[in-house]
Structures are given as structure tokens and as C-alpha cells.
Amino acid sequence: MRARSAWAQGVAGLAGLCVLLELVPRSGLVSARYLPPISEILAALADKAGEASFWTALADTMRGWAIGLTVAVVAGVVLGVALGSIGPLRAATGSTIEFLRPIPSVALVPLAVLLFGTDLRSKLLLIVYAAFWQVLIQVLSGVQDVDPVARETARSYGLGAWAQVRHVTWPTTLPYLMTGVRLAATIALVLAITAELVIGSPGLGKEIAVAQSSGAVASMYALVVVTGLIGVAVNLLARVLERRALAWHTSVRGELPA
Amino acid sequence: MTAVGRLARRAALALGLPLAIIAVLWVASADSQSFYLPPLRTVLETFADVWLSARLIDDVLPSLLRLAVGYLAAVALGVAIGVPLGASRTVRGVVEPVLEFFRAIPPPVMVPILILIAGIGDIMKVLVIVFGCVWPVLLNTVEGVRAVDPVLDETARCYRIRGLARLRHLVLRGASPQIFTGMRQSLSIGIILMVISEMFASSNGLGFTIIQFQRSFAIPEMWSGIILLGLVGVLLSLAFRAVEGRVLAWYYSLRRSHRGEPTG
């Protein structure tokens, strides 16, 4: 019952937003040149869905996102587990990580343009740099969180280094890693769109820039709505993945009805 | 180990790798002929020439001011909207999906929209920063207010702490660790948006200048700009941590005492 009323409230909220976005431009409160009514935006969206170029752009964006995120996650996990498990290494690299992490990845835009132009690699450079730190930092805190008793128990049972990583470090780190992946998935999408918008790599971001410069306001809004929907989808996907991977973990189990 | 020895060890650990990396880069790039990778020496010399000049006031300052105005406005807005949302279950149910959608829009796509509405001036850039930064603060405030300790809430009610006093001492205090988490996420988004809004359309600012260097193939200047942006990011995050440590000092020592660690 509660779930259904929450559902109804949410639908009411979204419907309210749509009505608002229809009435505000129609009533002339905001000029339709700046904000077309939502019906026009949706019509433009339907037009877009009929064009092959839209689907190509969408595929370009998602490909950059997926490759960049995968590279960042793999690199983050491997380096994170290695640096975190080996004490002296962690101590020696801490300050360097703290320094490199806050460097905004958009600082690399000019470099990416010079090295790779509008190529996919430009996009990947920005995505990987931004997403990698999210994963690395989480994995490092996860490895640090390993229960010392569990670690010593494993050692006294004679588990080798690999078995220790697999059976002790990994289960503790996984929840942290999943948080990192969720954050990284969002950031990767932002940077993919940014690269397309600013550098002009093919993808939705570039389409938005083109629509803006050619004055196709309704299409521009339609594309922005699409990026928002992708963002929502990415969030949901990451949450589902998190629940799947952590089905055994108390933080997830606790939410199930007892 | 003596105290001095410990301190020396910590300093060596903290500075060792960065110094080694700089040294390696310095030596490896010393007689670099590559057009894109000039010697580090040249870059650092250029850094002083380029940035310790009128540019500091003409380009760096406007960027940072826009960031400060946009960021602070977003924090104020996020908290102001987040508190009532966190307090009411019904309102939250109605607006949550809408907020989730707006948060999921990658903030840089707002640049073309806001250019349409507000032109390419300072207002557009500040609005872009506000739009991008407001969501993490807002959503974390909602979470924080929702999770205020019910025992504290009832205690406050018993003592008839109401209105502004309740807001200040109970709600905002209780939510502040969460709010700061949101503010930290917002800060890095804000820096990204500061740069992007200037790269897209501008006549001054850090992002604009760096792109100009790149377009005119002024490579050492471009590298010096990248280094400066990196420094801005690092310094702002240090400043943030200092503020956070101060404001949340009570929270950290509370947490330590819960864990049975020495407080202080």
C-alpha cells in the first residue's frame, strides 16, 4: 500500500512538472524562443528518434562511456588492491594520490585536443582520468577497512597472498568498490558529454552544440532530455548492479522484509 | 623512534614520491625536442611569465569569483530547499523523481541552454555553476534532515526548542555531515563547470585562456595553464577540508568516542 502511494506521488510530481513546462511557455511567462512547451520538445524528440544520426550519436556517447568506465574500473581495482595491500606502497603514494585526485579532468581538454583531435581517444582520456580516482579512492578505503582479526586468521591458516586477496580483502572491498563504480558511472557520463560538447567528438553532446548553434531550440531541449534519461538509466543500472553484487551483504539484506 | 625521527619519516613518505616524479620528468624532458611535450623547465619558466602578471587579475580572478558566487548560491539554495523537503514525507514523495531527473542531467549540457537564455556573460557562467552544484547539496540535505536522530528530536521537543533554534541547533547541526558530503561533491563539479563555461564562450577566464593557448599552439603556455588549473583544484580541496574539519570537529570527535578511540 505504501509502495503504491509513493509511486502515485512520484507520478503526480512528474505530471505536475510536465503541466508546468507546458503552461509557462504557452502563457508567455517565459518566451517560447527560450523554453518551448514540452509538447514541442516531445515532438522534436519523436522526430529525432526517427533519424539514424540520432541513434549513431547515442551509440557513440554510450560506447565512449562504457569503454572509459571499464578501463577506469579495472585500473582502479588493480592499483587499489595492490597499493592498499602493500603497506609501504600505500604510505609512499598517499600524498601523490591526494594531489592528483582534485585536478579537474577538464584541465586535460587542451591536451586531449592536441594529441587526439576529436577522436574517441580524446573522450576516453577525460573519462578515464575522472572516473579512475573515484574507483581508486573507494577501493583503497575498502582495503583499509579489512578486519585485522580476519586477516590474521587467514594468515595463521596459511592462506597464500592470492587467496587472502580473494577471500579476505575482496569481500570487504566489494561494497566500497560498488559505491566507487556508481560514482564513476555518473562522472564518466558527464565527461563523455563534456568532451563531445567542448571538443566536438561525435556523440549527443556534439548534437546539442549543433542544435544550439543552428537555433533548433526544441531539438536542443529534446537532446538534453535524452541525456537526463540516460543519466537516470545509468543510476538505476548502477544500483541494480550494486544490489546484485552485494546480495549477501548486510547493508542490502537488511532492506528486505524480514 | 623519536618524535623527530617519526616526523622526518612522515615527511619523507609524503614528499618522496612527488619529488621523485618531478625529478624524473625534469630529467626525462630536459632535452625533449617534441613539440607537444616541452621540457619541464621551459613550462615552469613560462608559468611565472604567463600567470604572475596582469593575467592573474584579468583571467584567474574573474573565474574564481564566478565560481565562488555560483557555488555559495548553490549551497544556500540547496540547503534552503532541502530542509523543508527532508522534513515532509509527502512533499518528498512528490518531488523526488523530478529531482532525480534534474540531477541526472549532465550539468555541462546546461551551457548551451543557458547561453540561449542569459547570453554569454557572467550571469550565464554563474547560473551554469549554480545549476550543476545545487543537486548534490540539495539531495544530501534532504537525506541528512530525514535522518536526524529521533531521540534528539524528541528531546528538543521536550525542552520546547522550536522555530529557528530548533532549525539551527537540531536540524542543520544534525544534517551538517551529510550537507558537507554534498558540498564536497559540488565543489569538484563547480570547478569543472567554471572551466567548461569559459571554454564554450567567453572573453576572459582560466578556461578561455587555456583554450586560446591551445588554439594558437602556444604549448608551454598551455601546459602552464593545465598546471595552474590543477593547483586551483588542489588548493580549493585543501581549503574545503580545513573548513570541514573546523565545522564538523564535534562530529569527528563524537564518532571517535563512539568507536572507543581517544578524542581530542
To the question of pTM greater than 0.90 for the whole model, the response is: no
Percent of chain B residues past pLDDT 90, beyond the cut: 18
Cβ contact (<8 Å) for A104 and B195?
Answer: yes
A10 in any annotated domain: no
- For the residues of A27-47, what is the DSSP string, one character each? TTSS-TTTS--HHHHHHHHHH
**In a 3-state reduction of DSSP, which class is residue B160?**
coil
A119 in any annotated domain: yes
Under CATH, what is the fold of the domain B39-258?
Answer: MetI-like fold (1.10.3720)
User: Which of the two residues, B211 and B74, has the higher pLDDT score?
Assistant: B74
A20 in any annotated domain: no
Q: In Å, how far from its chain's centre is CA B100?
A: 21
CA–CA dist A233, A210 (Å, integer): 25
Structural domain including A46 reads 34-247
Average pLDDT for B157-185: 85
A162 in any annotated domain: yes
Q: Which CATH number fits the domain that encloses residue A182?
A: 1.10.3720.10
Residue whose C-alpha is closest to residue A171's, from A190, A192, A134, A145: A145
- List, as own/partner pairs, every contact residues A242-247 make where C-beta atoms lie below 8 angstroms and the sequence separation is at least 24, other chains included: A242/A178, A242/A179, A242/A181, A242/A182, A245/A174, A245/A178, A246/A174, A246/A175, A246/A178
A108 in any annotated domain: yes
**Contact (CB, 8 A) for B29 and B37:** yes
DSSP letter (8 states) at residue B107 = G
What integer pLDDT is reported at residue B55 of this predicted model? 79
**Contact (CB, 8 A) for B114 and B131:** yes
Instruction: Supply the mean pLDDT for chain A.
Output: 87
Residues 173-212 of B with CB under 8 A from A: 188, 191-192, 195-196, 199-200, 207, 210-211
User: Which of the two residues, A256 and A191, has the higher pLDDT score?
Assistant: A191
Chain B residues in contact with A83 (beta carbon < 8 A)? none
> Mean pLDDT highest for which of A46-60, A138-152, B214-228?
A46-60
Number of domains comprising chain A: 1
Closest CA–CA distance from residue A210 to any residue of chain B (Å): 10
Dump pLDDT digits (tens) for A195-245. 999 888 899 999 999 998 888 889 999 999 999 999 999 999 998 988 888
A241 in any annotated domain: yes
Number of H helices, E strands in chain B: 13, 0
Q: How confident is the model at residue A3 (pLDDT cuts 50, 70, 90)?
A: low
Instruction: Supply the mean pLDDT for chain B.
Output: 85
A49 in any annotated domain: yes
The answer to whether the complex's ipTM is over 0.90 is no
What integer pLDDT is reported at residue A258 of this predicted model? 41
Cβ contact (<8 Å) for B109 and A193?
Answer: yes
